[in-house]
Amino acid sequence: SSEVLEAIENVIEDVFKSLAQKKAPVLTLANRSGWRNIEFRDSVGLQMIPHCTTKQIRSDCPRSAPKFALMLKILSMIYKMVQTNTYATKRDIYYSDTLLFGSQSVVDNIINDISCMLKIPRRSLHILSTTKGFVAGNLSYTEEDGTKVNCTCGATAVTVPSNVQGIKNLISHAKFMLIVEKDATFQRLLDDDFCNKLSPCIMITGRGVPDLNTRLLVRKLWDTFQIPIFTLMDADPHGVEIMCIYKYGSVSMSFEAHHLTVPSIKWLGLLPSDLERLNIRKDVLIPFTKQDQNKLASIQKRPYIACQPMWKKELEIMAASQLKAEIQVLTSLSSDYLSRVYLPNKLQFGGWL
């Protein structure tokens, strides 16, 4: 915490120095939105380059002055929380003054900018984000406040903890981990008792694009147990994008890649080639939209696809067919095809990329 306080004090000191010299104070931020500041490293994923391009938030420019003020406001809130060892969620911060902040996304963006500017992970700033992910299966752990959590209990999942760094005494006999894109598929596998039937495993879903806590938990489980991690996604550009976030990270959070990514993650399904192999009827597939075409084209250009020839092939099959499929498409073969046939066969015979 002294490191956080010192980092904030340095920023404020610079503001005072500028004022003393009769200059307009300026905050300098790394440019988090462009690929120009990103390098791809096999072992880490997408990482921000050391000397990246920056942008200035000036206090004397009408366009950036409001953001300058909001950044100082949130810095002062963080400073107070670290001093008093209290925590707040991003929602708490927004609701402390909704008129001032205007929207939740403004707050979220500023918090990420501050985290990047101070080079301090967000949870060390005492800001928690509300968790939307679920975890189930062969896993138990103790939360920071001493609560014991057991994820093995039956057909209900446990919410991903809001302070992943604080959990300890992790115990599991799982043979692998399965990241499921969607809540509906996750619940279906829970109902089918998938976590226990095949061999003990841990299942996680970020319910779509994963939040920070879900990504941190996947990384923590990987660091702790070093078991294979597989992804089960829709066979569409959006599903591939989500899988890449778990595996390689995202551009906007690249400054934290080494805490968040797991480059050893494998693509288990639903593969575009599976649709042909299983003779899935064309009438249950969904035609591409313009948005899908653009998303796929952008993924195909990314640096990490070049080093994944098998993935490249699958994306080419998808591009050629101009069709996409949700995991639920497997129910056209039989209602429990996913848990009874598809996943056991894939896991037994190595049908992943």
Tokens of 117: 């500017």
CATH number (3.20.20.80, 3.40.1360.10, 2.40.50.140, 3.30.470.20) of 134-349 reads 3.40.1360.10
Residue extent(s) of CATH 3.40.1360.10 domains in the chain: 134-349
Catalytic residues: 95
May I ask the CATH class of domain 1-128? mainly alpha
Residue extent(s) of CATH 1.10.10.10 domains in the chain: 1-128
The residue among 197, 201, 185, 188 whose CA lies nearest residue 136 is: 201
Instruction: Per-residue pLDDT tens, the chain, 353 aa: give them.
Output: 788 899 899 988 988 999 899 888 888 887 766 676 677 777 777 777 777 777 888 888 888 888 899 999 999 999 999 999 888 888 888 998 888 898 998 998 889 888 888 888 877 888 887 788 999 999 999 988 888 988 886 667 888 988 888 889 999 998 999 999 998 899 888 888 888 887 889 999 998 899 888 999 999 999 999 999 999 999 999 999 999 899 988 776 666 667 788 888 999 988 999 988 888 888 888 899 999 999 999 888 887 888 888 989 999 999 999 989 999 888 888 888 888 889 998 888 887 88
